[in-house]
Amino acid sequence: MVRIGVKRATPERVEADLLAVGIFSGDDPPEGLSTAAQPAVSSEDFTGKQGQASLLYAGESLPARRLLLVGLGESSSFTPEKLRRTAATVARRARTLKARNVAFVLPTPEGSDVRGAARAAAEGAVLGLYRFDRYKTENSQGGEPENFDLIPGVSEDEAAASAGAEVGAKVAAGSVLARDLANEPSNTATPEYLADRAREIGERHGMAVTVLDRAGIEGEGLTGLATVGRSASNEPRFIVLEHRKGGGGAPVVIVGKAVTFDSGGISIKPTTGMEDMKFDMGGGAAVLGAMEAVGALDLPIDVVAIVPATENLPGGAAFKPGDVLTMSSGKTVEILTTDAEGRLILADALLYARRYEPAAVVDCATLTGACVVALGNHASGLMGNDEDLVAEVQTAGEATGERGWPLPLFEEYTEQIKGDTADLKNSGGRGGGALTAGAFLKEFADFPWAHLDIAGTAYGKKGNAYTTRGATGVPARLLVEFLIGRSA
């Protein structure tokens, strides 16, 4: 992976294969670069519009081999997200140019903090370079930049910039792990595979790891997971990771749905697009990625991660519509469709979380197609039983560019999932599908709880400046940000 550093230098002196400098709309290039850059600006070929990039060859006038001007848009509306995207654009351009050593002048407009800017730039560079090509036998490896150095302004605090860059690189590495796990096809990324990756994370960072196999799952009374996983020959796993670096008080619990392949089961899905259901473990992948970052950052906090992992397949032993499950709390659930499997395994995870008497629980899950209809691919559905917690999660989403948008859990949605034969049914019908799923989970949460429906955000058909087609890693960075906020 690219090394992110901080270099104290003036742009006109820095040696690099590519020197990139961000310029706000209407601004002049920095003084030392004006010989090289002014013609592009004066001719209005380059205006500083967000996303614009002009590559210049400065010849003798600069020690850097190439100069890239990148537009930052209006300085008054500049955000960390724009900086993430800009750094990603620079990193990708460096790759196409096969530039090994990159220097990026860190834009820090009036009033912005250099630590946050360095963090955002580091995240953007690492994430922008991500690709999943391990199954391309002629993959395009090579051309990766080796060094991506951030150049803070002369009056900026270099130590703060270095600290920010380090945090950004670690957070991004967590997101990269989440992407790798989610992109991995289901013939490799089985529940046991996820358990192995969790064991590695635990080993690396001194976390306690518990993995329950089928017998353990049944022994704990995890009915939903045992039932959904009953017909799959890749057996289910219940994965728990504990990072205990806080004061030993009430921990925060993060939960991620990990259905490594969701065929729908007996209520089988249509063929078209079914291949995307390998991403149905995106929540679990993000939780593991977040734990990797939590460990690397050594956050002073108590966190427990819970990942219920299973396939959802039809078969002779599969659960069926009409079946009734008795959950460990005693509540009964009538199955209307075996395709509403996520809420069953999440209910188990929420019930399991009770033993920690958690300060807060945040779950994330590719839970409903209805959420994709509601919000598209630009925000995760955000629900919960605690206004302050929901607001806290929303803030973490805004800060990271992994937005969550609040949706209501009115009493009426709970009415919609009241069962005929049993206490609850696992589908509330067509109307408000994301909300009836949320209302179902709410029945199992007796602590402050928030839920992110990431069906539209965990993966995509096309990428943006720092995501590619496939897994996005969402909401790994959101979770880390939330946990940083909760740290001592």
Count of residues binding Zn ion (CB under 5 A)? 4
Q: Does residue number 314 form part of the binding site for ligand BES (CB under 6 A)?
A: no
Beta partners for residue 363, in sequence order: 255, 451
Q: Which is nearer to ligand BES, 95 or 425 (CB)?
A: 425
List, by residue number, the catalytic residues. 269, 343
Rounded CA-CA distance 185/180 in Å is: 10
- φ, ψ of residue 274 to 5 degrees: the values are -65, -25
Q: What 3-state class would DSSP assign to 313? A: coil
Binding part of the chain for ligand BES, among 133-141, 366-374, 375-383, 469-477 by CB under 6 A, reads: 366-374
Give the amino acid at 455. Answer: A
Rounded CA-CA distance 39/322 in Å is: 73
Q: Which is nearer to ligand BES, 261 or 356 (CB)?
A: 261
Among 184, 242, 334, 341, binds ligand BES (CB under 6 A): 341
Rounded CA-CA distance 1/94 in Å is: 14
Closest contact distance (angstroms) between CB of 262 and ligand BES is: 5
Q: Which is nearer to Mn ion, 184 or 339 (CB)?
A: 339
Among 48, 251, 342, 404, binds ligand BES (CB under 6 A): 342
Binding part of the chain for ligand BES, among 189-197, 211-219, 361-369, 460-468 by CB under 6 A, reads: 361-369
Residue 168 parent element (H or E): helix 158-183
Beta partners for residue 38, in sequence order: none
Binding mask 203-242 for ligand BES (x = CB under 6 A): ----------------------------------------
Among 180, 184, 262, 453, binds Zn ion (CB under 5 A): 262
Closest contact distance (angstroms) between CB of 446 and ligand BES is: 24
- φ, ψ of residue 4 to 5 degrees: the values are -100, 125
Residue 88's nearest CA partner among 132, 145, 33, 37 is 145
- Contact residues toward Mn ion (CB under 5 A) are 262, 339, 341
Rounded CA-CA distance 297/295 in Å is: 5
Rounded CA-CA distance 248/376 in Å is: 40
Q: Does residue number 256 form part of the binding site for Zn ion (CB under 5 A)?
A: no
Q: Does residue number 433 form part of the binding site for ligand BES (CB under 6 A)?
A: yes
Binding part of the chain for Zn ion, among 260-268, 346-354, 398-406, 473-481 by CB under 5 A, reads: 260-268
| Residues of the chain by 3-state class (helix, strand, coil), percent to 5 | 40, 20, 40
Closest contact distance (angstroms) between CB of 386 and Mn ion is: 27
337 binds, among Mn ion, ligand BES, Zn ion, none (CB under 5 to 8 A by kind): ligand BES
First-last CA distance in the chain: 30
Residue 441's nearest CA partner among 479, 420, 414 is 414
Q: Does residue number 340 form part of the binding site for ligand BES (CB under 6 A)?
A: yes
- Residue 462, number of CB atoms within 10 A of its CB: 9
Ranges within 339-368 binding Zn ion (CB under 5 A):
342
**Which tokens is 223 given?**
């009915």
Binding part of the chain for ligand BES, among 43-51, 208-216, 334-342, 441-449 by CB under 6 A, reads: 334-342
The single-letter DSSP state of residue 270 is: P
Closest contact distance (angstroms) between CB of 264 and ligand BES is: 6
Q: Which is nearer to ligand BES, 337 or 487 (CB)?
A: 337
Q: Which is nearer to Mn ion, 260 or 467 (CB)?
A: 260
Q: Does residue number 311 form part of the binding site for Zn ion (CB under 5 A)?
A: no
Half-sphere exposure of 380 (CA within 13 A, CB side): 39
Q: Which is nearer to Mn ion, 242 or 339 (CB)?
A: 339
Residue 432's nearest CA partner among 446, 413, 417 is 413
Rounded CA-CA distance 254/357 in Å is: 13
Tell me which residues touch ligand BES (CB under 6 A): 262, 280, 337, 339-342, 366-370, 372, 427, 433, 455
Tell me which residues touch Zn ion (CB under 5 A): 259, 262, 280, 342
